Structure formats: structure tokens, C-alpha cells
Amino acid sequence: MKDAPSTAAVCFAILLGAGVLACAPGDPDQAAGIAPGASETLGFTGARLIDGTGAEPIDNAVLVVRDGRVVAAGQAGVVEVPADARRVDVSGRTIIPGIINAHGHVGQARGLEQGPEYHTRENILDQLALYARYGVTTVVSLGEPGYEGVAVRDAQRENAALDHARLFVAGVVMDPDTPAEAEPQVRERAERGVDWAKIRVDDSLGRAEKMPPATYAAVIEHSHARSLPLTAHMVHLDDAKELVRAGADVLGHSVRDAPVDDELIALMRERNVCLHPTLTRELSTFVYAERPAFFEDPFFLRDADAEVIRELERPERQREYRGDAAEYYRAALPTAQRNMVALHQAGVRVAFGTDSGPPARFQGYFEHVEMEMMQEAGMTPRDILLSATRVAAACMGLDEVGTLEPGRWADFVVLERDPLENIRHTRTIESVWIAGNRVPGAADR
């Protein structure tokens, strides 16, 4: 456990984050004005607590937060609210750790447009605020058109005033043509300060050259030499096996061409490789061929852009979702769902990931659709919640989030209804808290 940040450290973090605010350590009024909640002790009382560890839920729990981190969590009576704490009564509600999207994308698109011009700090921060309003408190962005995310990530370190989703980044996806091109590409990203390496092994349904095994083996080797874990986007069972043999740490997306077999299961278990299901990625390739039912969903509409909806309703636009690729992925989706469940039941770790962020893959909302699709596929609400909290954190090497244990960041969601009954209850958001700060605009408006 790290030491809680001092007031001076908090102020320093705020300076880094906002770049304009002054802060006088030792002046409580001024500090409180700059970072509401940051130096305050909070005691949340009366809720059912699902702490993300997999332990049984605790009824009538107390959750104590100080300097943005969990200080104590447990049964009332066993854990006391400190005398100096501000009490927050959340009786009758359920607290879960903030949702972790282990595979998203930020600063890649705005509405239905995408390109490097959308890779700005402002757009990234808007998108992290959007994720947060939907209860997604950490996002690992696995491929962006630039490196703006690195500074955003650095500003969140020890920042007890944070109120948008935490970000970790891969930077630009690597695409060497030869093994010799691997090392310079890895070096550039490592020097930029990314958290993850990312490659694609995909022939885009026969329209592109697939990265050869010798090339991705070189990328994986050089990434590991620089302590960068690697996620590999893949589609086919054979590629999945070869990537795991070559040392990939996470398989991005489900296997979609064939049922997973004992060989892949054994390889993934032996090497402790995780899977990002990204079922909503498939959904997004065909669902706009007709007007999707969720265009009527108030939970979607509360943060949706009316212009984007209108555009997706245009017949010309709908036709774009009826091509060969759409039909391929529509047919592949049930295979992807069955494979996710088969891997999960065989003991392979499924790290919640959606691939949201590109056009029409709606950040925040799609995370809830993804959980519902996981439930439809046969995962229990308990296992889906674990996948989206502790497991996602462990798979992505994030040791300060994922559970509500002492020392971790106080990133959590207060729900009106218990998601262990039905995962759709993750939509009943009463409030979202990041580093103990209430996320603006998260509750139903």
C-alpha cells in the first residue's frame, strides 16, 4: 500500500492536471476549494457492498474513504465511521467497484467522424468524463492515433481530485512489415511512455496482408524486453494459438471463426493469458442496418448526440451496415459468445473489454450492453462483475483499482438495485465516485 498523498502532493497533482490553479498547502479553505472531497474523510453507510474480491456481499456496510483511497470497508460495527468523517447515507443501495474497460479507445473519433484531428487532450477528457458518467472508472485504450493520452494518464497519478475515468494507453498500434522493423516501433512507443503494446493479426476478411508470425514474435520479444505487455487483436483460432505460443499477454476479441478447442484452452491457462470478449464490437458492425431498439433507451439517450442518431437512421447510412463484413460478424457473434463462455468455464481469465470508442461504439453505454450480452451468453452476474473489476485489473496490471480493499483508489458506483440479481441493474446508477469524488452528471437526469 502506498502512503496517502500529503496535502502538498495533492496540490502538486492538481497543478499538473489543470496547469492554472494555485494551491497553498496548509490552508484548508483554499485546498478544499480547489479539490472538493480530496482531503475530506467520507463514510458511506447502509449499502450492500460488493467489494470486487469475489467475497460474499456485505449488507449494512461501511465504506471509509480518505484522500481518494479506501481506508476501510466492512460490516457496520466491525468498521466504524470516523468521528471527523462526513457521512453519506446510501441505505438500501448496492456499491460495486467502478467498472474497468480493459479494451477501449479514446481520442480516436468524435461522433461518427474519426481521424488524427480528434486526438486532442480536450476530446480525450470529454470521453473519459462520458465513461465515468456511466460508471466506467478505468479505461485501457488499446490504440489511438497519437500519444496525447500519456499526459492525461500522468496527471491522474496521486490526483485525489480526479473525477473522470482513469486512462492507460497503448499509443499507436504497431504495424511492422518485417521483423527488423519491430524494434524501432517498440522503442518509439516505450520512449513515449505507453503502458501497453498493441498489434493486429487480421487479414480484414481477405482484404489485407496478415502480420506474419516471425514479425509478431519479434514485436512481442522487444515489447517484453521493455517491460511492455502486449495485446493482440485476432479473429481466427489458429492465430490465437500462435500468438499465445509467441508470448502475447492478452487476446483482444473473441475467437470468431471456429469453436475454441482443448489446445487453445491449455495454452491460455498454462501461460495465464486473458481474453477481451468485445462482443459489442461485433454488434456495432451490423446493428445499424435497421434502427436499433436502444435508440429508444433512456439510459442511452441521456448522453447520446441527437445528430449522430439521426445520421445512423438515414437509409443510405443503414445500407453501409449490410455488407459482407457486417454479415460475417453477425454470423460470428454467437461463436464469439460461446467461445467466451467455454474459455471462462475452463478457467481462462476473461477481462471485461468492449472496444468502444470508434464511431457508433458508444463509450459508457456499450459497456452496459456488453455486460448484458455476456449474461445472455451464459456468464453469471457475479462472474461478469468480477470480469469487469478484479479480473480486468489483474489482467491489465492495474494494482490500485478493481476492488474496494484498503489502499486502493475509492472508485465505485452506487446502484439503486443489486446487479447480482440481474446484470442489467448496473444501469440503475445513483452516483459514481472516482478517488472519492462524485462524478458530475452520473445519476439519471
Alpha carbon distance 104, 118 (integer Å): 16
Task: Choose the stretch contacting Zn ion; rule: CB under 5 A; options: 285-293, 315-323, 353-361, 420-428.
Answer: 353-361
Residue with cell 467522424: 113
At closest approach, how far in Å is the CB of 200 from Zn ion?
Answer: 9
Task: Choose the stretch contacting Zn ion; rule: CB under 5 A; options: 176-184, 348-356, 368-376, 381-389.
Answer: 348-356
Q: Tell me the DSSP string of 295-358.
A: GG-HHHHTT--HHHHHHHHSHHHHHGGGSHHHHHHHHHHHHHHHHHHHHHHTT--B-----B-S
Task: Choose the stretch contacting Zn ion; rule: CB under 5 A; options: 92-100, 328-336, 351-359, 420-428.
Answer: 351-359
CB closer to Zn ion out of 241 and 253? 253
355 sits near Zn ion (criterion: CB under 5 A): yes
Q: Are 139 and 411 in contact (CB under 8 A)?
A: no
For 416, phi and psi rounded to 5 degrees?
-70, -30
Q: Output the nine-digit C-alpha cell for 238.
A: 489458429
Alpha carbon distance 280, 261 (integer Å): 23
Cβ-based burial of 9 (10 A; exposed 0-12, middle 13-18, buried ≥19): middle
At closest approach, how far in Å is the CB of 358 from Zn ion?
Answer: 8
CB closer to Zn ion out of 13 and 373? 373
370 sits near Zn ion (criterion: CB under 5 A): no
Question: Where in 315-441 does DSSP place strands (E)?
Answer: 412-415, 429-434, 437-438
Q: Are 391 and 76 in contact (CB under 8 A)?
A: no
Site for Zn ion (CB under 5 A): how many residues?
1
Which 257-296 positions form the footprint of Zn ion (CB under 5 A)? none
Contacts of 341 (CB under 8 A, 6+ apart): 377, 378, 379
At closest approach, how far in Å is the CB of 298 from Zn ion?
Answer: 28
Q: Which residue is nearest to Zn ion (CB)?
A: 355
Q: HSE-up of 222 (CA within 13 Å, CB side)?
A: 24
367 sits near Zn ion (criterion: CB under 5 A): no
At closest approach, how far in Å is the CB of 141 from Zn ion?
Answer: 9
Which 31-50 positions form the footprint of Zn ion (CB under 5 A)? none
Task: Choose the stretch contacting Zn ion; rule: CB under 5 A; options: 38-46, 354-362, 376-384, 415-423.
Answer: 354-362
At closest approach, how far in Å is the CB of 421 from Zn ion?
Answer: 31
At closest approach, how far in Å is the CB of 27 from Zn ion?
Answer: 45
At closest approach, how far in Å is the CB of 339 from Zn ion?
Answer: 17
Alpha carbon distance 87, 90 (integer Å): 9
CB closer to Zn ion out of 93 and 200? 200
Task: Choose the stretch contacting Zn ion; rule: CB under 5 A; options: 14-22, 173-181, 241-249, 352-360.
Answer: 352-360
Task: Choose the stretch contacting Zn ion; rule: CB under 5 A; options: 41-49, 204-212, 255-263, 350-358.
Answer: 350-358
Q: HSE-up of 225 (CA within 13 Å, CB side)?
A: 11
CB closer to Zn ion out of 37 and 143? 143
| Three-state secondary structure call for residue 188 | helix
Dihedral of CA atoms 248, 254, 257, 259 in degrees, nearest 10, equals 100
* 332: Cα separation from own chain's centroid: 23
CB closer to Zn ion out of 144 and 355? 355
At closest approach, how far in Å is the CB of 370 from Zn ion?
Answer: 13
CB closer to Zn ion out of 143 and 381? 143
Question: Where in 307-359 does DSSP place strands (E)?
Answer: none
Alpha carbon distance 366, 285 (integer Å): 13
CB closer to Zn ion out of 68 and 252? 252
At closest approach, how far in Å is the CB of 235 from Zn ion?
Answer: 12
Applying CB under 5 A, the residues found at the interface with Zn ion are: 355
